[in-house]
Amino acid sequence: MKCTIMHETRGRIRVKMAQSRMTLAQADILEYYLLSIPGITEVKVNDRTCCATVLYACPRQNVLDALAKFTYEANTALVPEHTGRALNREFEDELVLKVVRRGLMKLFVPAPIRKIITFIRSFKYIRRAWDSIRQGQLDIAVLDATSIVVSLIRGDWQSANSIMFLLNFSEHLEEWTRKKTVDDLARTMSLNIDRVWLKTGDTEVEVPIENVKKGDLVIVRTGNLIPLDGYVHSGEAMVNQASMTGESVPVRKESGSSVFAGTVIEEGEIVIEVSKVSGSGRYDRIVNMIEESEKLKSAAESKASNLADNLVPYTLAGTILTYLITRNATRAISILMVDFSCALKLAMPVAVLSAMREGRMNNISAKGGKYLEAVAQADTIVFDKTGTLTYACPTVIEVVPFGGHDENEMLRLAACLEEHYPHSMANAVINEAVRRGLHHEECHSWVEYIVAHGIASTVNEEKVVIGSHHFVFQDEGCVVADEDRAAYDAIRDDCSHLYMAISGKLAAVICIWDPFRYEAVEVVKQLHNLGIKRVVIMTGDNKKIARRIATAIGVDEFYAEVLPDDKASFIRAEREAGRKVIMIGDGINDSLALAEADVGVAIAHSSAIAREVADITLTAEDLYALVTLRRLSTALMDRIGRNYRFIMGFNSMLILLGVLGILPPATSALLHNASTLAVTVHSMTNMLE
């Protein structure tokens, strides 16, 4: 598509598209198309001016070529179902309209008519106050109505009109803030599933989710997200529906039960008959769930909101007392002109929203302000090892066969089983099989996954198990043949092991090398510097590997050969001891600990259930996002504290000056509203330098 370069600096270019007008949908298509180009880091599209500002870290010509090839028709699929652009435009236009309408009324509407309009508009605020009084409450509505009524009685129509305008404006801004927060969170929590297992006859085929049609059968197993709405065709499973219904315990699903996209199978395996394809209404259900939830509010926000309401009786009492002492209505009204509600109830949520927005800019997605608050207060961090402190892409360095089995055949069989429950270790097996060109057909029966242990199935009427040492030798009772004992004892111990047994005898050990992340040492050091007192590693791996990594990284404690229940029990004990705990994990076996912690954090490439259970998700490819999360959370609490002190101090000063007769009510109201606007705008700025 043709465009004109309007301005350009190193790494940044602004272009104007060759069109007279641009719709909101076209702006979204252009933005998401450009963001899909490798090397383009940020894009802002202004539909009103038909301009796009592009920040890039790739060759300039790549950006120009992408713009030249762009067409709206070919890129509609890149845009998610909800982008937030339409919502922002709706509220922006309404705010501008309110300001313009007020200006036009002052210029062109005669004063007598403005008085009538002001009188009629006051009924809404008086009715709210009356409803509060009938319910036995003295809240902000009573304070607002009192200031309006007193102004009307005194004949100060201008003040009454200004008060109602500012109240209406702030209510609109607060609603915009709330809806934008909900919309952003709902999109953050949207599904990210590209491929599914489609059942065709007696076989399973992995296909793109776009290819699934209504009536198709899709297989979903333990730990995976249900990708589409439908009904259980066969199988049984326990499904975590907290993201949809808020239920705290898993729900049993069997043949005929309905299931929803985005819920997670905690245990079992089901075949789903699809009833709705993509765009199945998950977004709307998430919005309803968030709106009915208190997750968005941190304790600091709740404190500010409650304080604003609790101060109302004192404000009214102060107004009456001032009038009784001074017999000066102007001084008494000056107290009503200054309330703490607008600033306290608006600046705090805006600060949290700003932190969450800045978090997303740094690959951090938080489900609510209270989790950022908990991160700021935390003193203990517990890390899972595999895929968290180590790379999420471990590699197979050796396959040791036993019992006369062929090495490649054992790897082929292991990949055949592991591909149904992908995690970092499984991916290593699958990738090695692909690298060796080992293709396979499904030759096994129903596959059973035992969380944090392994997989069991039947191949050629022989039971096959693959998993941890504990699972294969202790739970399943498998043994090493006498003739293989020497080879077994010689297995290298500087890597992680996957054990596979056939018919109760060890058939192969797959050695997997998973080096710790290069940035882990610096991240742990910075976390300590940011006030984290204890950094702990908990892993199911053997003690030698755990000790080597713990020593190299510099953590305070490590625990090896632990089960999921052990991690959760440790965190529970820490919390009972009065500590605030963050749990960092990525796998199905971490879900219990993630749920038990004050804050559960899932890192990039985590399992579906880990992302669902976690309170915060990091999508960055390295661990520095943890440092950013701690710094951002601390900065948020610092900003909330500063806002709180400024609002209370400044407004108290205005009240005092008004009572002393130094400031007239109009000036007090002006300074009050100006300070509210200033602190709110400041709350919207970035917190990290």
Question: Residue 109 pLDDT > 70, yes or no?
Answer: yes
**Spatial distance between the Cα atoms of 607 and 587, rounded to a whole number of angstroms:** 5
Q: Residue 280: its pLDDT value, please?
A: 47
CA 467 to chain centre: 32
The CA distances from residue 265 to 395, 411, 647, in Å, are 28, 28, 47
CATH T-level fold of 195-281: 2.70.150
Question: What does the pLDDT look like over 199-229, one tens digit per residue?
Answer: 887 777 878 777 788 889 999 887 777 888 8
CA–CA separation, 263 and 258 (whole Å): 11
Predicted confidence (pLDDT) at residue 138 exceeds the cutoff of 60: yes
User: What pLDDT was estimated at residue 478?
Assistant: 93
Angle at the Cα of 138 from the Cα atoms of 132 and 140, rounded to 5 degrees: 85
**In the structure, what pLDDT confidence band is assigned to residue 379 with cuts at 50, 70 and 90?**
very high
Q: Is the pLDDT of residue 322 over 80?
A: yes
CA angle in degrees (0–180, nearest 5) for 464-466-471: 110
Homologous superfamily in CATH for domain 364-390+516-619:
HAD superfamily/HAD-like (3.40.50.1000)
**Domain residues of the chain, as ranges?**
3-79, 90-186+296-351+636-683, 195-281, 364-390+516-619, 395-513
Tell me the per-residue pLDDT of 338-371, one tens digit each, with 9 for 90 and over: 777 667 777 787 788 788 878 878 888 887 788 9
DSSP, res 515: P
CATH number corresponding to 3-79: 3.30.1370.10
Angle (deg, nearest 10), helices 299-310 and 312-326: 30
* pLDDT interval class at 333 (50, 70, 90): confident
The yes or no reply on domain 395-513 and CATH 3.50.50.60 is no
Give the pLDDT confidence of 538-559 residue by residue, as tens digits. 987 778 888 888 898 999 999 9
Work out the average pLDDT over 145-155: 83
The candidate with the shortest Cα–Cα distance to 509, out of 536, 542, 538, 537, is 542
Confidence of residue 301 (pLDDT cuts 50, 70, 90): low
**Axis crossing angle, helix 424-435 with helix 407-418, rounded to the nearest 10:** 130
Pairwise pLDDT comparison (259 vs 635), residue with the higher score: 635
First to last CA, the chain: 37
Q: With pLDDT > 90 as the criterion, what percentage of the chain qualifies? A: 32
The pLDDT value recorded for residue 405 is 94
Residue 6 binned pLDDT confidence (cut-offs 50, 70, 90) = very high
pTM: 0.69
Interval 240-267 mean pLDDT: 75
Region 673-688: mean pLDDT is 82
pLDDT at 386 > cutoff 90: no
Residues 683, 174: Cα–Cα separation, whole Å: 13
The better pLDDT of the pair 151, 292 is held by 151
DSSP percent split of the chain into helix, strand, coil, nearest 5: 50, 20, 30
Q: What is the pLDDT of residue 293?
A: 47
How many CA atoms lie less than 13 Å away from 667 in the CB half-sphere?
12
CB 583 within 8 A of CB 599: yes
Could you tell me which of 343, 350, 318, 309 has the C-alpha nearest to residue 673?
343
> Please, which residues have CB within 8 angstroms of residue 292's CB and are 6 or more apart in sequence?
246
Across the beta sheet with 599-602, what order do the strands follow? 364-366, 616-618, 599-602, 581-585, 380-384, 534-538, 557-559
Report d(CA 42, CA 50) in Å as an integer.
17
Which residue would you say has higher pLDDT here, 333 or 533?
533
Buried-exposed string 293-303: b where 16+ CB fall within 10 A, e elsewhere: eebbbbebbee
Per-residue model confidence (pLDDT) at position 81 = 67
pLDDT of residue 289: 52
Specify which of 80-89, 130-139, 175-184, 287-296 reaches the highest per-range mean pLDDT. 130-139
**Confidence (pLDDT) at 298:** 58
CB atoms under 10 Å from CB of 381, counted, come to 27
Structure tokens that stand for 231 in this block: 């009904």
Stronger pLDDT, 281 or 435, i.e. the higher one? 435
Mean pLDDT within 436-444: 71
Question: Residue 197 half-sphere exposure, CB side, CA atoms within 13 Å?
Answer: 19
In the chain, the percentage of residues whose pLDDT exceeds 70 is 88
At 225-251, the pLDDT tens digits run 788 888 999 988 888 776 555 555 678
Mean pLDDT of the chain: 83
**What integer is the mean pLDDT of 483-510?**
91
Residue 294: which pLDDT band, with cuts at 50, 70 and 90? very low
